[in-house]
A and B are shown apart, each in its own frame.
Chain A
Amino acid sequence: MKEIVIISGKGGTGKTTLTASFAYLARDNVLADCDVDAADLHLLAAPKVLHEEDFYGGVKAVIDPGRCTQCGLCTEACRYAAISDDYVVDPLSCEGCSVCFHVCPVDAVTLEESLNGRWFISESRLGPMVHAELRPGEENSGKLVALVRNQAKVLTGKSGKKLILVDGAPGVGCPVISSVTGADRVVIVTEPTRSGIHDMLRALELVQGFNIPTSVVINKYDIAPEMGERIHRICSEKQTVVLGSIPYDAAVTAAMVNGRSVVEFDDGDASKAIVGIWEKLAETVPS
């Protein structure tokens, strides 16, 4: 079983478009959408949910006003300023650390499991799929990411498939660390802009810390070819393969509006480039 994770550092560089296209080209894979706090892959994969479950990611403190004597020990101990002057816990600030529960002399604090999201096992146009929705504003997306990846592995084992394609999270924090640890390959999608390069470098640094073979794809290459050249130079210094470049193509948005990956929508410039990139990537990942 091999697991390829597509990440980007910077958001909006085409991570999901590329993941969906790879899935269409690979044909025999399981999909995992680990961008749980802005999950978009389902808009292209049209999953039919077969199984769904709530996700409880942690606990939140709740103060019983009937028991509370307003002694102030909890507010003093809380490092997250989550308890108001009238002793109500703000769930958005509560970290679930339980310190208030322990310091309360009259047992007025209870810890309640917090519903953080839902996760799904689905059958989709692009193969079996595990995906999730973090409840807006919730934390712990790293935990939900780990769960989605684990479930995708179980599903892959059961279905006898050999490949998992993971739409990773943006950034370099907890969700993306969760997306890549222990994966077989990472593909970083970037764009030829100064922000794209900046964020690609941070993502590369992160992935290299985990020792995972990594390659780069440059999207919207023709917006600034000189920046594209710079990415090539940086990657060769860092001994990172550039799998290929995708030109700006209005078909990408048109495909999205039609709920299709671009490679199944038309065979224009972007599609041709993605097919070439997939062939190159597939060669480096023996099944």
Chain B
Amino acid sequence: MRIAVSAMGRDLDADLDPRFGRAMYFLILDPNGTIEEVIENSTNMNAMKGAGIQAGKILADKKVDVLLTGHCGPNAFKALNAAGIKVAVELSGTVREALERFKRTDVKFAGGPNVEGHW
């Protein structure tokens, strides 16, 4: 299973970035916490429109199964949903803590977007 986490930094002790589309990085992990890939999201962070859609496409192309993040808007959710990526929202703390919570199944999966779209 490939788990993506929106993050402020490049390692497990970095804070989770609550923004999905405009997250600074995506860390792609296996369930043991091994970092398989670090994706810099700077293009989307600065793109003022459609960041969530493009970020969703990146994760879809990387064949991710689950996303751990804070907030996910409607367009991003639509893209992630089409790719069959499950979205766990309202997470905070470090990447490591988010992963632990996911492994304990102590996360909330979004059935829809949990924030309004940002224009």
Contact = CB atoms under 8 A, between A and B. Distances in A.
Q: Is A–B contact present in the complex under a CB 8 A cutoff?
A: yes
Contact of A182 (B48, B49, B115): B115
A273 interface: no
Interface residues of B, number: 8
A98 to B, nearest CB: 14
A140 B117 contact: no
Contacts of A57: 48
Nearest to A116: B48
Contacts of A248: none
> Which of B22, B49, B119 has the most chain A CB atoms inside 10 A of its CB?
B119
A33 B22 CA distance: 22
**Interface size, A (range):** 10 to 19
A174 B48 CA distance: 13
Majority secondary structure, B binding face: loop
Interface in B77-119: 115-119
A143 interface: yes
A181 B117 CA distance: 7
Majority secondary structure, A binding face: helix
A178 B119 contact: yes
A80 interface: no
A243 interface: no
A9 interface: no
A143 B48 contact: yes
Nearest to A55: B48
Interface in A125-159: 140, 142-147, 150
B119 A174 contact: yes
Contacts of A144: 48
A55 to B, nearest CB: 9
B116 A142 contact: no
Contacts of B22: 150
A181 B116 contact: yes
A177 interface: yes
Contacts of A174: 119
Contacts of B116: 181-182, 210
A57 B117 CA distance: 18
Interface string A180-212: 011000000000000000000000000000100
A14 to B, nearest CB: 25
Nearest to A182: B116
B119 A177 contact: yes
A140 B119 CA distance: 10
> Which of B115, B117, B118 has the most chain A CB atoms inside 10 A of its CB?
B118
A91 to B, nearest CB: 18
Interface string B64-80: 00000000000000000
5 contacts: A142-B49, A146-B119, A147-B48, A177-B119, A182-B115
Given A150-B118, A181-B117, A181-B119, 18 more contacts: A140-B48, A142-B48, A142-B49, A142-B119, A143-B49, A143-B119, A145-B119, A146-B48, A146-B118, A146-B119, A147-B48, A150-B22, A174-B119, A177-B119, A181-B118, A182-B116, A182-B118, A210-B116
Q: Which 4 A-B pairs have the closest CB atoms?
A: A143-B48, A178-B119, A182-B116, A181-B116
